[in-house]
Amino acid sequence: MEGGGFMDRIERLRLLAELSTEHCELNHGPGTKGEDYPAVDYIVVNIGYKEDEVKEVSVRKLVIPVCAECAEALVGDEWTLLYCFLCGNNRWVSRQLAKLEYRHHVLWLRGCPECTKEFGGLYFADLPKEEGTVEFLVEEKELDPA
């Protein structure tokens, strides 16, 4: 992405320092509280577009704290996460019970019934990461020797 790297070192260190006080921001069902699900990692997603085959422009980074249970579900084959990156509304879909055959780990929505009446698009991401889509911050740190 434009700007020389997925996330600068200072921002990464700040997020890692705050990880012990974060709680999972993904949906755990009705009657649950985020405080019951301490975050163990972050999903970091560049929201942007490609101008051509060489130049990619990152408009912003979406950083979502996740608990161990959600991180495991994101890399497994049992669940697909639907996530609106405009308002943060999200829900899990059981692939076994779904009417459609989901093959992606995350479906990023640009607009949902909670925040708009206009659907702006659907974006796919498979985990483990595809180049330039989704990364876990802690795993990124472990892979970066510097």
pLDDT in tens, 126-138: 655 444 345 676 7
pLDDT per residue over 30-47, tens digit each?
999 878 999 999 988 877
pLDDT per residue over 53-92, tens digit each?
777 666 677 889 999 999 999 888 899 999 998 899 999 9
Q: Which has more pLDDT, 28 or 51?
A: 28
Question: Based on the number of CB atoms within 10 Å of its own CB, is 81 exposed (0-12), middle (13-18) or buried (19 or more)?
Answer: buried
Q: What predicted TM-score, i.e. pTM, was given to this entire model?
A: 0.73
Spell out the domain ranges in the chain: 9-143
Pairing mode, strands 56-66 and 41-50: antiparallel
Supply the DSSP symbol for 18: H
